[in-house]
Structure 1
Amino acid sequence: MNKAKIEELNSRFRDKSPEDLISWFLDEYGHRVALSSSLGAEDQVLTDMVLKIRPDARIFTLDTGRLFPETYDLIDRTNKKYNVKIEVLFPDYKRVEEMVNSKGINLFYDSIENRKLCCHIRKIEPLTRVFKTLDAWICGLRAGQAVTRQNIQLVEWDDNNGLIKVNPLAYWSESQVWDYIKANKVPYNPLHDKGYPSIGCLPCTRAIEPGEDVRAGRWWWENPESKECGLHKR
């Protein structure tokens, strides 16, 4: 897909529903497109949309080994509600062992470099493996989530992974996400009700205070401009 086609798709779907955009990619790419889910609220909305359009669509998630118990429970509840088996990816245990034994179990608190190394081994490397089977991937980014995401488009070329990146909820507000969850009875992580708008690994996620940015609880010891794992690097 060239730049002109991406621009054409952004123009065509700018005022259409997320389901319209998802349908186009599922029809066009079949099992060469997949939803990458972190089990967050946005990704749960997309899971509901994707499976209503195509019950056998590919959905995958990451088990970094440091997730909240509530996240593991949500994987199970989601599988049972939609009668699916979300594909679970794991990091290379040898790489994790080497990292932990050389830098410590909670190395990510010591420096941004260590944190990014941990993200790379636990998240980026397993994702790179699955990306080799895809031509496009769908994710739950919204422009309003963080300063690092404010310029995203519905359809982008992902230079980092050599894929088309689809952001169906790019222009949705947080309230639209929750309105959809409530209206469609979509299962979600109960931590969202306890002040966790963005949920990643347990040691790197905290509840936020009133008025804080929705991503303030992720890697809270870092500057906002560095708060990405590398997957969505721009």
Structure 2
Amino acid sequence: MSTFNTNQFALEFDTESPKKIIERALEEFGNIAISFSGAEDVVLVEIASKVIKDKSQLQVFSLDTGRLHPETYQFIETVRKHYGIQIDIVSPEHRGLEAFVKQKGLFSFFEDGHQECCGVRKVAPLRRKLSTLDAWITGQRRDQSPGTRNSVPIAEMDKAFGTEESPLVKFNPLANWSSQQVWEYIRMFDVPYNPLHERGFTSIGCEPCTRPVLPNQHEREGRWWWEEATHKECGLHAGNLEK
């Protein structure tokens, strides 16, 4: 049972820099990993690579849904080589995926909503990965999705993927940052990023469910654009919906 007090940590570090938050998180937990997919996450990798002495101890994982853009796969490889790290590529369990596609087809989300497909391709693999960890670090920001992420804390007990028997701590070091701050950091330190961002993609997920956003649209409006605008979540951060 973890004795780490997330509420105390969140209060103490709410105004601290992401670097200090990540540094302390890595000190507190040996079995901790960074969830990597987009611009925010590579900022986390950049910061962690500066504060951790032995890069072989830096755990990074990425979910491969089987439906990502080619540019995203290339981006993952670019990050792996740029930082000289291993990235654990986590894929869906093939029996469950094959059964789902056989029953529902490849594009059922346009008719039934995205949750079922995301459950098979994202949530189940993430649950499997997180069951091996004591803590994880995400790139969530409070301004990413006003309907679901506006109260994301710096640290929290992950009630969606942790249990009383196996508690899981979740750190969100960029919770207070804006998109502008993320991109200022990327440019300042020449951090690699997905080339799709240069083509109008702000929040990048699976290829069929992501499109560029128009001027003045919110950054997550390009995700599942055929659905209700205030529920742009796939289930990876299901706890947000409880707040």
The TM-score normalised by the length of structure 1 is 0.94
* 1:173 paired to 2:178: yes
Q: Which amino acid aligns with 1:28?
A: E
1:33 is matched with 32
* Contact 2:209-2:224 at 8 Å conserved across structures: yes
Deviation of 1:64 after TM superposition, in Å, equals 0.5
> 1:177-213: CA deviations, max 9, x gaps?
0010011111000111111110000000000011111
SS at match of 1:16: coil
Tell me the residue number matched to 2:72: 71
Residue equivalent to 1:12: 12
Instruction: Give the equivalent residue in structure 1 for 2:165.
Output: none
Deviation at 1:226, TM superposition (A): 2.5
- Asked whether 1:44 is paired with 2:42, we answer yes
The one-letter amino acid paired with 2:76 is: I
Counterpart in the other structure of 1:161: 161
**Candidates 204, 222, 237, aligned match of 1:217:** 222
| 2:193 maps to 1:188 | yes
Query: Structure 1 residue 15: deviation in Å?
Result: 1.9
Distance in 1 (alpha carbons) for counterparts of 2:9 and 2:59: 22
Indicate which of 201, 219, 228 corresponds to 2:233: 228
Cα drift, residue 111 of structure 1: 1.5
Q: Distance in 2 between the 1:96 and 1:198 partners?
A: 24
Structure 2 unaligned spans of 5+: 163-167
- 1:225 deviates by 2.9
- Over the matched positions of the two proteins, sequence identity in percent amounts to 45
1:141: which partner in 2? 140
Cα deviation for residue 12 of structure 1 reads: 1.4
* Most deviating of 50-59 and 188-197: 50-59
One-letter amino acid of the counterpart of residue 44, structure 2: L
Does the aligned pair in 1 maintain the 2:80–2:86 contact within 8 Å?
yes
Q: Deviations over 1:99-141 (max 9, x none)?
A: 11111111111112xx211101111111111111111110000
- Matches of 2:123 and 2:33, distance apart in 1: 16
State the alpha-carbon separation in 2 of the partners of residues 62 and 131 from structure 1.
12
Size of the aligned set, in residue pairs, is 229
Unaligned runs of 5+ in 1: none
Q: Is the 8 A contact 2:59 2:86 kept in 1?
A: no
Matched ranges for 1:95-114 at <5 A = 95-112=96-113
What secondary structure, in the 3-state scheme, does the structure 2 residue paired with 1:226 have?
coil
Q: Secondary structure at the match of 2:22?
A: helix
* Residue in 2 that maps onto 1:80: 81
CA distance in 2 between counterparts of 1:186 and 1:118 reads 31
TM-score by length of 2: 0.91
Question: How far, CA to CA, are the matches of 2:180 and 2:115 in structure 1?
Answer: 31
1:222 partner SS: coil
Q: CA RMSD in A?
A: 1.2
Secondary structure at the counterpart of residue 97 of structure 2: helix
Deviating runs (4+, > 2 A) in structure 1? Answer: none
Q: Take 1:184 and 1:37, find their aligned partners in 2: how far apart are those partners?
A: 18
Which amino acid in 1 is paired with 2:80? N
Q: Which residue of 2 aligns with 1:200?
A: 205
Corresponding position of 2:150: 150
Partner of 2:65: helix, strand, or coil? coil
In structure 2, what is the Cα distance between the partners aligned to 1:25 and 1:93?
Answer: 33
